[in-house]
Amino acid sequence: MVRMLIGPDATGYPGIKITNDADDPRTTPDSERWKFRYNSKYAVTMNLGGMQRINQITRPGLNDSGVLLYYPPGSNNSNFVYCEVSGGGSSHWCYKKEYFPRLRYDVPLYDIKAKKGGGSNRYNQHMVFWHDSYDYYNGQGGSWVQGNSRQLAWVTGTNSSFFNNIFGAWASGIIVQITRFDTIDGFNQFLSRDRTLVVWNLPGNRVPVDEAPALTPNGSKVVVIGPNDFKTSRPGYPVDTATPAQTSFDAAAKLPVKVIRSGDIALPAGVSYFDVGFQIPEMVALDVHFYNSGTIMYPSNPQTANFGAEYWFDGTRIGFDASTNMRARFMLYLADNSPPTSGVNRVFRPISEGGQNALQVLRPGAADPPAWPDIVIDSRWPQVQILKDGWIDVVAGNGVYYDIPFDGAGMFPMVKYLTEHGGGRGGSAAPEGQNQLNTTWTSAYRLPFIKRLRYTAPGNQLHAGESTYCELTQNNARFWTFAGNVGDYYNRRDSPGSWRTAGATPPIAIRYYIFGIPA
């Protein structure tokens, strides 16, 4: 049974709360997070700033000449919002921060979901492979490295004058590279012609989340439901004048992320499937932690072997191809860009599907039945709650850890983080994995990745300096860094017996979020 409260709870704070089963939304303490399907009193909310699929290559042929396409039409390298630079079968898509109109932060938390090369429909950015190089004598060198190492960074303070000024100079944004020539081999495991950029409305740098604190109840109206509006403000803020920071959700502008399926499941080695119970829409993304121990290691287990799982969407199923027996903790979320429907459906829509009773909260004026973008809240979809967030200033050292305690009672905790790096330049002078980032930058914000050296470097260095990971338990996140370590240790091919080291670009900070879904 679904139970819903609109108005003051037992503490006198007004808002919207939804619980399942026997839990009373009026009297259930906010601290019992796992009992709520939705609670407008929770301060920091997970909501998307945008999701963009990137798979268009305007010049797909090997001998196709280059073209610069700036948008909106009529703009140029100094005033574009997004652009495509294409030629010879590859494209660089550049998105400035301004491309995402709802984005409230200069540097956002983001992710990139990359399909496997060769035109595959599988996503493989979570895989860990040993990376070969022509510089190595008989393969003696390199690292077991995870796919995020080949994703380009979100950058600030850019200047592309070294690259024919194709992107000009811009304050904040990202370049995503795709190519038709994406054959997988030991030197190129993570090329792709199809990537999806996911931008969260949360800061990805060292600034606090801009959400207003709850005020003591003061009689302010905090909920409005009308023909054109459905909006809830934070406790104590008048809903009619609430700023984005003072708003819990707004059906027109600030929606809770639509997690349409979540869980923690066992995966056998090889191919298996998980049926979600409905046709999976096109514009979805999967956040997943693959792990094979009692402790989750994110973004991957730091082991000296190829490890991980590919995944894909197949009708009503999520397919997995795991390297060994493991578990997958996941949330499948939706960003449907189709227009909302029009009709006279009620805002509150009780439904029963598959023997399960549920309550949907709809955008005012939705059709019957509603489409995906019409659904603001569905009691079957768990509200993603931020259990802890903050940043870590990284110190030098080989294997330094930082403990972040949190309360994960009754929840499936998950973690997301970015690593902050200093200035740099793309091309031949770029940090590893960033050579296609055709600009200079003052700060870079990268997706995290494991980089475990194949051969132990002097000083018992097992990890490269860029390598980071998080050990996640029910109530603690332990982040590991290796700043100061080498970037590579290898036996050089042109002078066997001469072992060399290469430099690294270690992080200077980590911006993290521990979020939870009800177990």
Shared domain for 137 and 6, answered yes or no, is yes
Provide the token pair at 485: 């370590």
Shared domain for 374 and 459, answered yes or no, is no
Q: 510, 511, 501: which is closest to 464 by C-alpha?
A: 501
Shared domain for 477 and 373, answered yes or no, is no
List C-alpha distances in Å: 273 to 36, 97, 309, 317: 29, 37, 12, 6
Shared domain for 356 and 279, answered yes or no, is no
Residues whose CB is less than 8 angstroms from the CB of residue 518 and which lie 6 or more positions away in sequence, other chains included: 33, 34, 35, 36, 37, 382, 410, 411, 412
Whether residue 214 is contained in a domain is answered as yes
Q: Which residues pair with 396 in a beta bridge?
A: none
pLDDT per position as a tens digit, 460-476: 999 999 999 999 999 99
411-421 vs 385-393, strand pairing mode: unpaired
Phi, psi of 495 (to 5 degrees): -150, 70
Shared domain for 311 and 180, answered yes or no, is yes
Q: What is the DSSP letter of 123?
A: B
Shared domain for 445 and 496, answered yes or no, is yes
Residue with tokens 């009708």: 315
Whether residue 343 is contained in a domain is answered as no
Structural domain range at position 372: 348-378
Whether residue 448 is contained in a domain is answered as yes
Which of 378, 396, 429 marks a domain boundary?
378
Q: Which residues pair with 145 in a beta bridge?
A: 129, 451
Shared domain for 354 and 453, answered yes or no, is no
Residues whose CB is less than 8 angstroms from the CB of residue 513 and which lie 6 or more positions away in sequence, other chains included: 109, 202, 386, 388, 389, 415, 416, 417
Q: What is the mean pLDDT of the chain?
A: 92
Q: What is the DSSP letter of 349?
A: E
| Structure-model confidence comparison of residues 102 and 311, the more confident one | 311
Residue 253 has pLDDT above 80, yes or no: no
pLDDT per position as a tens digit, 176-233: 999 999 988 877 889 999 999 999 999 999 999 999 988 888 889 998 887 778 889 9
In whole angstroms, what is the distance from residue 307 CA to residue 355 CA?
39
Q: Cα torsion for 26, 31, 35, 38, to the nearest 10°?
A: 70
Shared domain for 371 and 315, answered yes or no, is no
**Per-residue confidence band for 412, with pLDDT thresholds at 50, 70 and 90:** very high
pLDDT per position as a tens digit, 312-359: 999 999 999 999 999 999 999 988 767 778 887 778 888 888 778 888
pLDDT of residue 267: 97
In whole angstroms, what is the distance from residue 114 CA to residue 127 CA?
11
pLDDT per position as a tens digit, 144-177: 999 999 999 999 999 999 899 999 999 999 999 9
- 312 contacts 122 by C-beta, under 8 angstroms: yes
Q: Give how many domains the chain has, as a whole number.
A: 2
Q: 394, 354, 360: which is closest to 376 by C-alpha?
A: 360
Burial class (CB in 10 A: 0-12, 13-18, 19+), 14: buried
Shared domain for 353 and 412, answered yes or no, is no
**Per-residue confidence band for 502, with pLDDT thresholds at 50, 70 and 90:** very high
pLDDT per position as a tens digit, 11-51: 998 888 998 778 999 999 999 999 998 898 887 778 899 99
Residues whose CB is less than 8 angstroms from the CB of residue 451 and which lie 6 or more positions away in sequence, other chains included: 143, 144, 145, 146, 149, 463, 464, 466, 467
**Per-residue confidence band for 296, with pLDDT thresholds at 50, 70 and 90:** very high
| Structure-model confidence comparison of residues 123 and 365, the more confident one | 123
pLDDT of residue 325: 95
**What is the spatial order of strands in the sheet that 348-353 belongs to?**
348-353, 356-362, 375-378
Shared domain for 79 and 161, answered yes or no, is yes
Shared domain for 365 and 408, answered yes or no, is no
List C-alpha distances in Å: 189 to 116, 424, 433: 8, 24, 12
pLDDT per position as a tens digit, 420-447: 999 999 998 899 889 999 999 999 999 9
Residue 119 has pLDDT above 90, yes or no: no
pLDDT per position as a tens digit, 236-251: 999 999 999 999 888 7
In whole angstroms, what is the distance from residue 261 CA to residue 281 CA?
12
**What is the spatial order of strands in the sheet that 258-267 belongs to?**
258-267, 326-334, 284-291
pLDDT of residue 14: 87
Q: 322, 250, 259: which is closest to 289 by C-alpha?
A: 322
pLDDT of residue 347: 84
Whether residue 164 is contained in a domain is answered as yes
Shared domain for 38 and 119, answered yes or no, is yes
Residue with tokens 């494991």: 450
List C-alpha distances in Å: 230 to 85, 201, 248, 255, 333: 41, 20, 11, 11, 22
